[in-house]
Amino acid sequence: MRRPRIGVTVDLDDARAEYRLSRQYADALLAAGGLPVPLPYADAATLGAYVSLCQGIVITGGAFDIAPERYGEARRAACGVAKPDRTAFEWALCSAAFEGRIPVLGVCGGMQLMNVVRGGTLYQDLGQDAGIRAHEQELPAGEPSHAVALVPETLLARLLGPTPLSVNSSHHQAVREPGLGVLVSARSPDGVVEAIELPDLPFALGVQWHPERLFQRDPRQFELWRGLVQAAADVYG
């Protein structure tokens, strides 16, 4: 069986001059039948080669925030550290994938990026902006901490089923205003957006939680990875 190539964005440790990727992303994609391909930051010409190489893209999460200037706001004190080089690369990659109708899965900050690329906005800090402080869990990262309600008849609900889903939570930002053509497909009980999708594209889905940390214990979380890989396989024709 030919495994579709899934490009996966990586983080950069400047102090060690090392690219880094949690093995859980690779493990999830391999288990789902994909071939994970780490994507170092690159210029526009090389980015085009990445898009030509890959049948799917995962935009990973990380311990940083998208610069609020990207969505038309001045930075406030509660906004976290930015990584301009990473955001610039992931922005260009996400835009190119959307334009090329390549399947995309955004995880945590990757979901937030998808929304901002489409012209949406974020809460710079849920506690300061919305009075919500319960989304940075104290439990281990691989333990679910709350449920989310899925919107019926969405891509997410078709992949996972319509019943509430238990998820983990490690974020202080979230989608505020959805961007152009962005459909909210899940929310937590406090109203925070937990998943988005772009119905005008074959497969463009973002989740606020970390399904790579849950797929081995929850078969429904695995369906996210299998759905992405199947959509990428369809790119082969």
Active-site residues: which are they? 108, 210, 212
Say if CB 196 and CB 175 are below 8 A apart. yes
Q: What is the DSSP string of 42-65?
A: --HHHHHHHHHH-SEEEE---SSB
Q: Kind and range of the H or E element at 148?
A: strand 146-150
Taking the alpha carbons of 85, 91, 96, 101 in that order, is the dihedral positive or negative? positive
d(CA 202, CA 235): 10
Give the helix ranges, DSSP H, for the chain.
Answer: 23-31, 44-53, 84-100, 109-117, 126-130, 155-160, 219-235
Tokens 């930015």 -> residue = 82
100 by Cβ neighbours in 10 Å (0-12 / 13-18 / 19+) ranks as middle
Q: Kind and range of the H or E element at 37?
A: strand 35-39
Distances 179 to 57, 68, 131 between C-alpha atoms, Å: 20, 15, 23
